[in-house]
Each structure stands twice: as C-alpha cells, then as structure tokens.
Amino acid sequence: MPDYNFFENPVYGYPEHKYNQYLVKHRASQNKGGDSRSYRDSERKKTYASENSFMHECNIPEFDSIEEANKFAKRVYKTKKWSKLWQDSVENDVGQIFNATPRVVGMNTRNKTLSGFTNGRTITLCTVTGLNKYILLHEMAHCLGHMHHGRSFRQCLLELVGAFMGAKEKKVLKREFKRRKLACGEPRQPLTFEKWVASKERMEKMREQRDFFEAGRSRLGK
C-alpha cells in the first residue's frame, strides 16, 4: 500500500500545501471508483462486464444449497489467506470490516440481474442465479471492507479466486479486467516530497525553454 506522508497544517499556496494536494489526487487515481465512504462506484459496470465474460468462459462450481455455501464460507474464513486479506484491509483502512464468519442466507427472486449482495457480514445469495462459488467469493470480498468495485476490491477478489478456485480462473478474470482497462495489482507509490519538488522544477525549466524557443520563432517570423 502506498505511503501518504501528509504535511500537517501547511501554509496555503506553499510547496507543502501543493504536495498535500498531489497526494490526495494520487490516492484517488490509484483506486478509481473505489471510495466506500463517498459511495462512488464508477467502475462497477465494467467490473460486472468482466465478470460475465469470465463466468461464460470458466466452469463455475455451483452449490446444492445455502447450507453448502455456508460451509464453504466458513472454510474460507478459517484459512491463512483470509486472515492475511483481513489484516491488509485493517492496515489499509479500506472501510468497515467485520471480523466474524460471513453468514450466507438465501433469497428467492426472478430478477436475473441480482445474484447477491452484502450487508455487514451477511451475504444474501439468489437461489436461482447466485448459488455458485464465484458469486460467493465476490460477496466475501465486500465483507473485507471493499464496498465498491474499484482497484482494491478487484485485487482482493483475484486473491480469493486464485486461492479457492484456481490459478487458471484467476488468470482469466485478470485478463478480462485488463481488457476493459481496469487496474489490478498493488497501487504505485507517490513521489516523496523531495522528488515531487525536483519534478516540478524540471517541468518549470522545460516550460521556460519552450516559451523561449517559441518567442524566438515568433521574432524570426516577423
């Protein structure tokens, strides 16, 4: 996770204040569409489209009952992989996380667009369209605090799919995300204050050289 070392109470307009603004923009860009607190979920449709392609290509194991889905969720919860993902969510402050076994309940609906949803640690699966391993893992990623479909959610989901479905399935899902230009993987580190200042100075010199060159061309043109 990137380190965001903000300056405390910087003077408006000074380099420290502008650096804080850069950090805010950098953090937003690294998890586009993934701000749980502001309810923005701008990459949801592209994520769903990627998942639909993935599920059409891969053989997704189905559960025979809600009880079977509950047993699977409990097994996932007891693994080291789940513990690591939970710890990552805590350290990165991704949102509200529930350190308890996810509870799966069923829902009868003919709404084909709604396979499941999450509320706290309770996962509701549609018994017609959502009773399969992938939909459950999708909702379990939400239980880890990623209440959106941005970068951190997708990375968490890929980890769950790789661990509990297989490397091939993880590869296919990641490919579908990338096809739609959806970022995955760890976010980039921001520039340190020193490197950010140096970068701004280089840009300023380049602008001065460009302006000098264009002024010279204008004089020659006359």
Cross-strand partners of 103: 122
Taking the C-alpha atoms of residue 217 and residue 213, their distance in angstroms, rounded to an integer, is: 6
Give residue 32's pLDDT band: very low, low, confident or very high (50, 70, 90): low
Q: What is the pTM of this model?
A: 0.78
| Amino acid at position 156, single letter | C
Please report the sign of the dihedral spanned by the C-alpha atoms of residue 166, residue 167, residue 172, residue 178.
Answer: positive
Task: Rank 3-7, 37-41, 91-95, 139-143 by mean pLDDT and report only the highest.
Answer: 139-143
Helices (H), the chain: 15-30, 44-57, 66-77, 80-92, 133-143, 151-164, 167-179, 193-221
Tokens for 26, please give them.
């950098």
Q: What angle do CA 9, 202, 191 make, to 5 degrees?
A: 45
Q: State the pLDDT at residue 186.
A: 74
Tell which residue, 44, 55, 70, has the closest CA to residue 123. 70
On the question of pLDDT at 95 being above 70, the answer is no
Cross-strand pairs, 132: 62
125's tokens:
């699966």
Residue with tokens 């976010």: 187
pLDDT tens-digit profile of 46-55? 999 999 999 9
Cβ atoms of 67 and 125 closer than 8 Å: no
Model confidence pLDDT, tens digit, residues 102-111: 999 999 876 7
